[in-house]
Structure 1
Amino acid sequence: MKTNYNWGIIGLGKIAKKFATDLQSVEGANLKAVASRSLQKAEEFAEDFYAENFYGSYDELINSPEIEVIYIATPHVFHKELTIKCLKAKKAVLCEKAFGINKAEVEEMIATAKAENVFLMEALWMHFLPHYNYLLDLLEQNKYGKVKSLTADFGFKAPFNLDKRLFNKKLGGGSLLDIGIYPVFAAMTILGIPDTIEAEAKMSKTEIDEECSIVFHYKNGIKAKLKSSLLQETPTECHIKLENAHIKLTNRFHEPPSSLEITPDGEENKRIKFPVTTLGYNYEAIHVQKMLSQNKIESDVMTFEKSLQLISLLDEIRKKIGLIY
């Protein structure tokens, strides 16, 4: 069974730096090469994160015979094209969220992975973190009864800058795809696909959603209230009301270190901590290598179906707020 893999990274921004930092802690992972449209940036990144090679074009990395798996960390609008190029070059792909700009793109990416018989996974790193998996297991045990409601938010004050992707429509900007995806994913994995969706947004002068408020409606009156914002700091917490308890994922619920606060009805608050010594990106990298060692083309955790369900929800929300890329 193969246990060592040569990684490449395409797109060398802030997330790529975090991923490269954690990749150093993953047994059997070798950062073979990195690529940017700027050769100088690639060289500096390679030096900082001990990559063996660096390239001033994405194609050079994709076509390198030494690279086996590629992490794509470019803006959303480039995900589909780069993923398909990698897959056709027989390189396994871990592609940052949001997987694509819309469902049609995600369907094409998945179809290519199947046609080429090459591994592909959306890098929804939250799904692999210890505290989130503990939560999902706890809810499955039904110890505190069924979920009655959920609220989740993610907001920060972003400086307006058209050179950056957040406010640039051509780069897939907006709060929903960048950070709103986390509250939406939490509701999807905890409550499932809603029966109906309400959504409204505050749009910027560049025609992206600066702020988005969403309500998922489920049978029996169950609701998920979700929010994302580029205009203000929000608690960035996830609250789950069950029949016999309240659970809170504490500040910045989508990342480590996080903790669960469980308050059973009539009892005192109990906090469960999850000490993590990394930034948290190592967990998805470990999973990718495990899948590759088993000759899988699809994750058994972040499945193709989950990615399709997630992008379908994001598409429906965008339709309701009038955000068209």
Structure 2
Amino acid sequence: MAEAVRWGIIGTGKIARAFANALKEVPGAVLAGVASRSQDKAEAFGAEFGAGASYGSYEALVQANDVDLVYVGTPHPQHAENALMALRAGKGVLCEKPFTMNLREAEQVATLARSKRLFLMEAMWTRYLPAYLEVKRILASGEIGTARQIVADFGFAAAFGPEHRVFNPELGGGALLDLGIYPLSVAAGLLGPVSEIRAQAVMGPTGVDVQTGFTLKHAGGGMSVCSCSFLARSPAELTVAGELGQVRMNTMFHRATSVTVKLADGSERTIETPYLGNGYVHEIVEAQRCWREGLLESPAMPVGETLALMGVMDEIRRQIGLTYEADRPR
């Protein structure tokens, strides 16, 4: 069996719990430690998931000798600070999306990782799912012709109070960073780099976007039309169309278990694409593969692409008038 990879988790919220659950199903993965700003929360989380150690500070975890890779699962505005802390301690990092609050922060993290020659990867878990990989295979085969257009949406009715994370600007709230990044990342992964951007939004009472739509031109000549919403429960499907037909990642595209191909000749077929566990298993397997092979980033989600997409979101936010504390000049 391959050498075990010893994970440390920073954060004990919902996303960290999903990650810890997935770790249990990954061969060769060990939860060496978990950290919270509260010792009690860290110990409760650690006991539930069988962590080797529980720390009452993030600093203590990143300094631990028995941690190889650190998963950053804290609120959005803390991502850059926590990733930099782990990298300075010599640890590889898997950082939850959105990678950081803006491109400036993302470049700081990437520069440090490269200078120290440490592994760095954005935890865009949908880019490793079987459904996404099957769509890439279908596009490469030419079955639907050249991919020309993507239509993708992700929305739900967020019945939370204004203090909730998704509406709170101090916690990086807003539909774009929370939901819009999913269709954006998949569209760019399938159609290539973004060359032009047009965006509109509905802003909520707390000052963050509650519904955003953006149209993208891609360097390869294709276009994508994407939307995200905290106001409407949308189909959450993604369809790629070419001159010979279309392929759809069935509801919900970010956790699709099948894809359907429809061709101009009237034929149709559905391919089952089940994923392992809660879906996070696939990104963990990839991160471990890269770490064991001494890679500094994942070929499936290279750091350069993460930086490019942060730049796209910066421009979308500029067009819709959405700023955060992290955007203030330093």
| Counterparts of 2:133 and 2:243, CA distance in 1 | 21
Q: CA RMSD in A?
A: 1.7
Verify the 8 A CA contact 1:3 1:289 in the aligned structure 2.
no
Match of 2:258 in 1: 259
1:221-264 CA distances to partner (integer Å, 9 max, x unpaired)?
Answer: 843111000111110000111111121111110125x2101111
Helix, strand or coil at the partner of 1:165: coil
Verify the 8 A CA contact 2:192 2:219 in the aligned structure 1.
no
| Counterparts of 2:274 and 2:287, CA distance in 1 | 22
> How does 1:63-102 map onto structure 2 within 5 Å?
63-102=63-102
State the Cα distance separating 1:148 from its structure 2 match: 2.5
Please, which moves more after superposition, 209-218 or 116-125? 209-218
Verify the 8 A CA contact 2:200 2:319 in the aligned structure 1.
yes
User: Is it true that 1:307 corresponds to 2:309 in the alignment?
Assistant: no
| Counterparts of 1:309 and 1:172, CA distance in 2 | 19
1:7-40 CA distances to partner (integer Å, 9 max, x unpaired)?
Answer: 1101111111111111111111100111112222
User: Is it true that 1:323 corresponds to 2:296 in the alignment?
Assistant: no
Helix, strand or coil at the partner of 1:30: strand
Gaps of 5+ in 1: none
State the Cα distance separating 1:219 from its structure 2 match: 7.7
| Counterparts of 1:123 and 1:271, CA distance in 2 | 28
Please, which moves more after superposition, 215-224 or 200-209? 215-224
1:79-98 CA distances to partner (integer Å, 9 max, x unpaired)?
Answer: 11110110010111100011
Counterpart residue type for residue 193 of structure 2: I
TM-score for the superposition, normalised by structure 2: 0.94
Match of 1:60 in 2: 60
Structure 1 residues 249 and 54: alpha-carbon distance in aligned structure 2, compared to 1, 3 A threshold: same
| Counterparts of 2:82 and 2:101, CA distance in 1 | 13
Match of 2:122 in 1: 122
| Counterparts of 2:126 and 2:92, CA distance in 1 | 20
Counterpart residue type for residue 188 of structure 1: A
Percent identity of paired positions between Structure 1 and Structure 2: 37
Please, which moves more after superposition, 211-220 or 163-172? 211-220
Verify the 8 A CA contact 1:235 1:251 in the aligned structure 2.
yes
1:266-316 CA distances to partner (integer Å, 9 max, x unpaired)?
Answer: 223211111234111111111111111111222222101110111111111
| Counterparts of 1:156 and 1:311, CA distance in 2 | 23
Match of 1:19 in 2: 19
State the Cα distance separating 1:218 from its structure 2 match: 4.9
Counterpart residue type for residue 174 of structure 1: G
Helix, strand or coil at the partner of 1:316: helix
Match of 2:240 in 1: 240
Match of 1:286 in 2: 285
Helix, strand or coil at the partner of 2:232: coil
Counterpart residue type for residue 211 of structure 2: E
| Counterparts of 2:220 and 2:44, CA distance in 1 | 55
| Counterparts of 2:295 and 2:282, CA distance in 1 | 17
| Counterparts of 1:197 and 1:252, CA distance in 2 | 25
